[in-house]
A and B are shown apart, each in its own frame.
Chain A
């Protein structure tokens, strides 16, 4: 085999999550009462736009979650093949040029020369200080004066390619709108078009230039930004895998059993809550670091160590943030436990566990879904802050937080190096904004109170 698949922990969990979401949606599609709130969600134009954007981010993140190691050239026949220690992903394959085209230091977006003066030896042996040509960015140009027309030509070609991809998809619009007329398909299609209109030229240009420049050690900023997406998605989604079972089980149990169970669970979450979140996370992460440093034999490659650290960061964030969900669910379960159908279940001697799983959990599911979607964006933003403080992901992981941390002194340079920060913040903003818009739509679709409140408001306005 030319490659050996590597399954990192976060990969496995991420794909498991994708499978879980897929089966949940399949379940929803067959049960009208589960599908109804989602139908309300997708009616919103903002939701469709942000779903399209998130799908784009998700595709990049998932392509970056299929890892493998390439086989090294065989040394002797019959020998077991040796694999490179470097763990690559499918995304790395697609971006192979970006990954390999490392310059020596900063270069501006679409530049053909470095951003720093260097001593260069001329052919006649004299030394001069000048901005040397880049090794990869615009290296195909014999005359640098042609850069403008070359960039325009490539961008147009990329745009044309994107249009060729986008226009045929328009044929799907008709059937989709006939099947589900209430869904604003056009908004999603237009968003897709906008995304392709940016991605096409960027891709075409990235074959010959550093579209977003290079950073201090000469790495392509576009490559770093695209790789950071996976880290953000992992933090935003896997954390809920930890938070959800803890928060849901403990919250509902506390509200249902009351008495000493309630007291005990309330005590646990008040205690955890009373420690400032950043400090609790910092304390956990410091201890995790000591453990990882003390047991290097457990983590054979850097990628594995970084991955375990990323996963543990998710666990830590989950352990420190389940309390608010538990408190919400406890309050709801307290109310639900007094309702007639739960009392009736008691009268029929239905066992507690069954009441919890069949009668209570489905009726608090909307709260769980809303808080899952709402938490996503705050978790993504939290990663940036934690990585800045130094208690976030492993320094060898590529993430927005690490990018921003590495670039935070660049604004103080003269002249200013703005592209690393701008790209990291730009990619981050689109992701978080899309997640926030989707969260709003999900809350409007799922929370019965919002609908009642809106009806009352409209009544008052009339």
Chain B
């Protein structure tokens, strides 16, 4: 098992190098640091002196890949690529445009993000599976038909609508919870109820329709017919046979997103003023803070690759047919 995990982890290295190269190419080659400086300084006519000063202050005043003037290994290390891109591998993210330490920001902002994302994930999964199982249980009846219609209608509504309408109805009109904001500890609950509910609701449509398809596909298989032929009740067939076997495709979709919960939700956090990583990212995009965007891209891909690894491991746990070799 350990050897298997190690081997899978080794696969991640070339992918992370690839991610690093893509971000490097995007942020430094397509547009030079001079372009970035001009953008950050804002004004149309910026003198070259100001640009140089900005680059020096942010550490972009080095050659991109090869520093010919530096002595020894400095030829390779004293470059933008080494300082800005390779440092990411050591989770050293540097400072943002406004001079704050990105790693420290991430460590404090991670918790509000998780406080929102984990309940949305768990409750959403439970609601979706329950709804999908109900539809599959009453398949080819009116309940199933209208359930699917409801799902298609719900997935056709933009997430923004759920947020704006929910905020308006629950927070403003009925005045049940604060409109936005955040607090630490248990005081956070009243700020989180509405975003969690909206997060779950906006995912019900596509989620339960997808799970329903999985359940129905599983119910068309031979072992289900055998189970029925043995005289098992429909409930026993659904819960003991279909649900268990459908767990395998469900796991593929679900496990991979668990690590990504750290990244938070862009829309939810920015609308509800939750100081998590999602709103951090959105602020960085809007203020064109390239250092932060670069760091979030890197963290996001590390987490995704970790999720793939978790998926593989969870397969071997739930499906005895999958061998480790």
Query: Residue on A with the closest CB to B301?
Result: A274
Q: Is the CB of B22 within 8 A of A456?
A: no
- Cβ B285 vs Cβ A267 within 8 A: no
- Give Cα A408–Cα B180 distance, bound, in whole angstroms: 14
Chain A residue contacts of B220, Cβ below 8 A = 453, 456-457, 460
Contact of A286 among B18, B179, B288 (CB under 8 A): B288
Closest chain A residue to B30 by CB distance? A287
> Are B156 and A429 in contact, with the CB atoms below 8 A?
yes
For residue A203, CB closer than 8 A to chain B, the reply is: no
- Give the distance in Å from the alpha carbon of A282 to the alpha carbon of B153 in the complex: 29
The number of chain A residues with a CB under 8 A from chain B is 50
Contact B36 A290 (CB under 8 A): yes
Shortest CB distance B47–A (Å): 16
Asked if B293 lies at the interface with its beta carbon under 8 angstroms from chain A, I say yes
By beta carbon, the residue of chain A nearest B303 is: A276
Asked if A389 is an interface residue, CB under 8 A from chain B, the answer is: yes
Q: Are B155 and A436 in contact (CB under 8 A)?
A: yes
- CB of A457 within 8 A of CB of B301, answer no
Residue pair A390, B140 in contact (C-beta under 8 Å): no
Assembly CA distance A271 to B155 (angstroms)? 28
A15 to chain B, nearest CB (A): 28
**Of B23, B35, B160, B263, which contacts A276 at CB under 8 A?**
B263
Say yes or no: is B247 at the interface (Cβ < 8 Å to chain A). no
Q: Are A440 and B297 in contact (CB under 8 A)?
A: no
The reply to whether A432 and B156 contact each other, CB–CB distance below 8 Å, is: yes
A293 and B164 contact, CB distance less than 8 A: no
Which residues of B are found within 8 Å of A286, using beta-carbon distances? Answer: 285, 288, 290, 293
Interface residue ranges of B283-322 to A (CB < 8 Å): 285-286, 288, 290, 293-294, 296-297, 300-301, 304-305, 308
Segment among A34-42, A215-223, A304-312, A377-385 that sits at the interface with chain B: A377-385
Asked whether B139 lies within 8 Å of A461 as measured between CB atoms, the reply is yes
Residue of A nearest to B155 (CB): A436
Instruction: Check A283/B23 contact, CB under 8 A, given A273-B304, A276-B263, A428-B158.
Output: yes
* Residue A23, interface by CB 8 Å: no
Give the chain B neighbours of A272 by CB distance below 8 A: 22
A:434-460 near B, CB below 8 Å: 436-437, 440, 453, 456-458, 460
Chain A 418-435, CB within 8 Å of chain B: the 1/0 string?
A: 000100010011001100
Verify if B38 is at the interface (C-beta below 8 Å from A): yes
Beta-carbon contact of A291 and B305 below 8 Å: no
Min CB–CB distance B199 → chain A (angstroms): 14
Q: Which of A257-300 contact B (CB under 8 A)?
A: 267-268, 270-276, 278-280, 282-284, 286-287, 289-291, 293-294
Instruction: Give the contacting residue for A389; candidates B35, B168, B285; CB below 8 A.
Output: B285
Q: Tell me, yes or no, whether B27 is within 8 Å of chain A by CB.
A: yes
CB-based nearest B residue for A439:
B152
- CB of A287 within 8 A of CB of B31, answer yes
Taking a contact as CB atoms closer than 8 A, the residue among B172, B225, B294 that contacts A411 in the complex is B172
Q: Which residue of B has the minimal Cβ distance to A455?
A: B220
Complex CA distance for A408 and B160, rounded to whole angstroms: 9
A-chain residues with CB within 8 Å of residue B19 when the two chains form the complex: 271, 274-275
Contact A411–B156 (Cβ < 8 Å): no
CA distance A87 to B226 in the complex (A): 68
Q: Which of B27, B139, B260, B296 contacts A287 (CB 8 A)?
A: B27
Q: Is the CB of A271 within 8 A of B161?
A: no
Report which residue of B161, B286, B293 has the largest number of chain A beta carbons within 10 angstroms of its beta carbon: B161
Q: Which of A268, A283, A408 has a CB less than 8 Å from the CB of B26?
A: A283
B26 and A390 within 8 A (CB):
no
Contact with B along A202-225 (1 / 0, CB 8 A): 000000000000000000000000
Tell me the nearest residue of chain A to B16, going by C-beta: A274
Neighbouring B residues of A291 by C-beta, 8 Å: 30-31, 35
Q: Does B216 reach chain A (CB closer than 8 Å)?
A: yes
Q: Bits for A232-276, please: 1 = Cβ < 8 Å to B, else 0.
A: 000000000000000000000000000000000001101111111
- When C-beta atoms are compared, the residue in chain A nearest to B168 turns out to be A411
With beta carbons under 8 angstroms apart, the residue of A271, A389, A421, A425 that contacts B22 is A271
Residue of A nearest to B300 (CB): A276
Q: Does more than half of chain B's interface fall in helix, strand or loop, or is it mixed?
A: helix
Please indicate which of the listed interface residues B156, B179, B288 has the most CB atoms of chain A within 10 Å of its own CB.
Answer: B156
Q: Kindly identify, within residues 356 to 388 of chain A, every residue whose CB is under 8 Å from any CB belonging to chain B.
A: 377, 381, 384-385, 388
Q: Judge whether B285 and A390 touch: CB under 8 Å.
A: yes
- Chain B positions within 8 Å of A408 at CB level: 160, 164
Bound-complex Cα distance A127 to B297 (A): 58
In the complex, whether B103 has a CB less than 8 A from a CB of chain A is no
Is A425's CB under 8 angstroms from B26's CB? Answer: no
Shortest beta-carbon distance from B102 to chain A in Å: 15
B136 to chain A, nearest CB (A): 10
Contact of B297 among A275, A287, A456 (CB under 8 A): A275
Complex CA–CA separation, A283 to B293 (angstroms): 7
Inter-subunit contact A293/B160 (CB<8 Å): no
A391 close to B (CB within 8 Å): yes
Q: Is the CB of A294 within 8 A of B35?
A: yes
CA distance A437 to B151 in the complex (A): 11
In the complex, what residues of B have CB within 8 A of residue A411's CB? 164, 167-168, 172
Known: A286-B290, A289-B288, A425-B157. 20 other contacts (CB 8 A): A267-B18, A270-B15, A275-B19, A275-B297, A276-B301, A282-B285, A286-B285, A287-B26, A389-B266, A389-B267, A390-B285, A390-B286, A412-B172, A421-B164, A425-B161, A433-B153, A457-B219, A460-B224, A460-B225, A460-B228
- Offer 27 A-B interface pairs, CB within 8 angstroms, sorted by A: A271-B15, A274-B301, A275-B301, A275-B304, A276-B296, A286-B288, A287-B30, A289-B288, A294-B35, A377-B156, A385-B158, A388-B160, A389-B282, A390-B286, A404-B164, A408-B164, A412-B179, A421-B164, A425-B158, A425-B161, A432-B156, A432-B157, A432-B158, A453-B216, A457-B140, A457-B219, A458-B140
